[in-house]
Amino acid sequence: MQNPEEHIRTPDVVIITGLSGSGMSAAMNAFEDRGYFCVDNLPLILLSTFARLVQPRADAEGDKPHIERAALVINIREGRFLSEFKAGLDALRGVGLHVFVLFLEASDEVLLRRFSETRRPHPADSGDGLLASIQFERDAMREIRVLADSIVDTSGHTVHTLRRFLLDAFSPDAAAGRMQITVLSFGHKHGGLRDMELLFDVRHLPNPYFVEGLRELSGHDPRVVKYLKAQPEVQETLRRFNELLAYLLPQYEREGKAYLTIGVGCTGGRHRSVMFANEIARYLRQDGFKASAAHRDVSKAKRKRSVAKSGA
């Protein structure tokens, strides 16, 4: 993901845009949880009216805006979006509002899968098929993408990990200049991660999947954690990872990095990588960093077994 290299103050208005199926609705929900007033698919013609609601007003109650912070989803469904977006953005900034444009995207493969799973029509579908619709929208959105303050590739995110990333990235601590660190576990067999700063692989370690009584559990379970921590190579690997991070992370902070993602991969993303992501995040918090763990694939194996048992 492409992130702003400078720490920013909390935006007055966040405009969420990007490719259909990339997670704009999930992003809007995350901003709503952060206390933003959210509007989905706001017509561009109403931007100037909306700006007046966010601007401070002088009255008997003092200089307080009707709406202190807002998040707007504006995308290709809005008829005049492509031709008038830049003018609307300039107008918002011209009245003194701090506006942040967040652009979400994902790979063709991931978008194809998401639309196939939801069975919803693509808004740019003209009868030439789903892939052609995705590629048409990607090309049509290039000029909008250039205007973005942050571009996030959600291919490696679930709804939950994207929500956690955005909650951390737009927290008051982030606006105050603290680097936000996400330690994200995943399984290589489910596909790699995109656009992370650091990647650790733990497939060389003993696998609880092959230990009787542990296969059905996850790396969150104390029994799996106990088994892994009893292995000398696990303890040594964790120690060396943490030592490397203790050396590297202050240098990222000195460079003004706002957000940093550390990927931790094992085979299935259920046992070793989950335990390591939790332990690394805990170590970083103890060392004074703002860090959280997220887990992309921890539930996938269990979900597949449930489907198989149901005969689906």
Distance CA 184, CA 200 (A): 10
Give 171-196 pLDDT, tens digit per residue.
665 555 567 899 999 999 998 887 78
Where in the sequence is the domain holding 209, given as residue range(s)?
A: 180-310
Q: Please give the pLDDT value at position 87.
A: 86
Which tens digit of pLDDT belongs to each residue from 295-312? 999 987 654 554 344 443
- What per-residue confidence (pLDDT) applies to 301? 60
Residues 116 and 221 reside in one and the same domain: no
Environment class of 280 (CB within 10 Å of its CB; exposed 0-12, middle 13-18, buried 19+): buried
Residue 121: the pLDDT is: 87
- The enclosing H or E element of 99 equals strand 99-105
**8 within domain boundaries:** no
CA distance 34 to 102: 15
Domain boundary among the residues 175, 204, 234 is at: 175
> What is the structure's pLDDT at 302?
58
DSSP run (H or E) holding 93: helix 81-94
Whether residue 78 sits in one domain with residue 111:
yes
Sheet holding 99-105, edge to edge: 37-40, 70-73, 13-18, 99-105, 150-153
Residue 259: its H or E element: strand 259-266
Cα separation, 184 vs 207, in Å, equals 19
pLDDT score at 56: 59
Tell me what percent of the chain is helix, strand and coil, each rounded to the nearest 5. Answer: 45, 15, 40
Residue 58 forms part of a structural domain: yes
**Are 170 and 215 found together in one domain?**
no
- Domain end point (choices 157, 175, 193): 175
Same domain, 22 and 120: yes
Q: State residue 217's pLDDT score.
A: 95
pLDDT of residue 310: 41
* Confidence (pLDDT) at 178: 64
Question: How many domains are there within the chain?
Answer: 2
> Would 59 be classed as within a structural domain?
yes
Residue 311 is predicted with a pLDDT of 42
Q: For the chain, which ranges sit under pLDDT 50?
A: 1-8, 58-60, 303, 306-312
